[in-house]
Amino acid sequence: MQRLLLIAIALGLAGCGGYASTSEAFRQSLTSGQPQIALIEVNDALEVVKAEDVPKDPGPDTPLLLLERGTILQALGRNDLSARDFQLADKNLDVLDLTGDTTGEISKYLFSDDATVYKSPPYEKLLLNTVNMINFLVMGDISGAKVEARRMTINRKYLETEAGAAQSMLAFGSYLSGFAFEMAGDSGPAIRHYGDAHDAGGQPGLRAAVTRLAARTGAGDKRLKDWTTDPAPLPKGDEKQGELLVIVQTGMAPHRQAERLPIGAAVVAASNPGRGARLSRSDRARAQTFAAKGVLKWVQYPRLERSVAGAARIDVGVGGQTWTTESALDVEGRTIDHYEAHKGTLIAASITRLLTRAVAGEVTGAVARGASGDNVIGLLAGLAVEGAMTAADTPDTRSWVTLPARFSIARGRLPAGEHTITVRYRGQQRSRTVKLSPGGWAVVNFSDLR
């Protein structure tokens, strides 16, 4: 009977590959230029048949999977459904706080961090509104774009104490917000958003956009006074032209994979000074005690894995002209910055999970010895629980894996009429056609060049 019980415990606690395994299929499909296949695979993960369907019984990963599907739908040009998925995710997406003094809150679940509802790092929360703003701008829905701009402003204020990667994500979103309000004819909010973009590190073509807005409307912001004081007059016939913004998303952002780390190295990494939670003195002592007994030899933690492909040249042709395309946001770099700042906390969480398992194993062994009077049975019971629970330990490898590594932009004025935009990247070519009216505008997004 005891043997059957132990087998049942082991089978019941057997782990799975976690989110890294779940997301591998659609991440690889998107990387290989097959977004339609990626859509089928992410629908399978959401347990729905088609993109129009929304999960009836949301699970812990549903908000994250909606982010993934929204990104894939955007790559397919299905911006209305992409916007819907992003908005649904936004309603249910909390932000993970890794700034506490102890690992209790982030390690309180017995089996695995990824058993809890997904909580995004702050930079993902900010990027959500930025990426969804692109959807509305591409659709020409300026009201929807302004709503996302306001949501980003609210999130920015909520996360204003977060330094590093989260704050550095603001420049691109603020620039798009300025563009949205400028195209809506709201020059005051537009210049303020452009000022925010300037404060967050700037954007390609920001000075040209600001000086033109100031010359056209007289709008000003004290942060931009060097650009808005006595701006040059607009060229003759400017009102007959239209504004075109081209956005190109390339590469794949780093993703997390489970990796083993020797317990000694893990304790050192989780104890070093740094941002976020670290192992307490008592937890360090317990970990060292279990390691000396041979119970703990290694821990699993979420390692960050970068895409093999690096940055490459992007050529944008508009009619017979070649437009300069510059990096607007380095998602890869910001993701790495955030991860490195909190790596010690993630390893500390892995250690505390294993300490919980080790204690459970010792308690089970003691109970079995007391009930049977047999030390061997007690040892086997304890080891079975420890082994099964360790096997079930899947560190939280969840992150928004379909994000691009980089956003690049090009912006310019064109005569009214029809124009073909062609983008070349790593031997791939994509084209779109837009029609500009006098004084009108358009945004074209290329997001399947991964």
Q: What count of Cα atoms within 13 Å lies in the side-chain half-sphere of residue 76?
A: 21
Residues in a beta bridge with 446: 248
376-405 per-position pLDDT tens digit: 444 444 444 445 555 556 788 999 999 999
Nearest to 120 by CA among 253, 267, 258: 253
Nearest to 165 by CA among 310, 330, 346: 330
Burial of 429 (0-12, 13-18, 19+ CB in 10 A): exposed
Spans of the chain, pLDDT less than 50: 1-15, 101-112, 363-369, 375-386
Nearest to 335 by CA among 299, 307, 301: 307
Question: Structural domain of residue 182, as residue ranges?
Answer: 2-449
* Cβ-based neighbours of 305, under 8 Å, separated by 6 or more: 254, 255, 256, 257
Look up tokens 């941002």; give the residue. 275
pLDDT of residue 119: 83
The enclosing domain of 104 has a CATH number of 1.25.40.10
pLDDT of residue 366: 46
pLDDT of residue 393: 64
Look up tokens 């249910």; give the residue. 92
Q: What count of Cα atoms within 13 Å lies in the side-chain half-sphere of residue 401?
A: 26
- Give the count of domains, the chain: 1
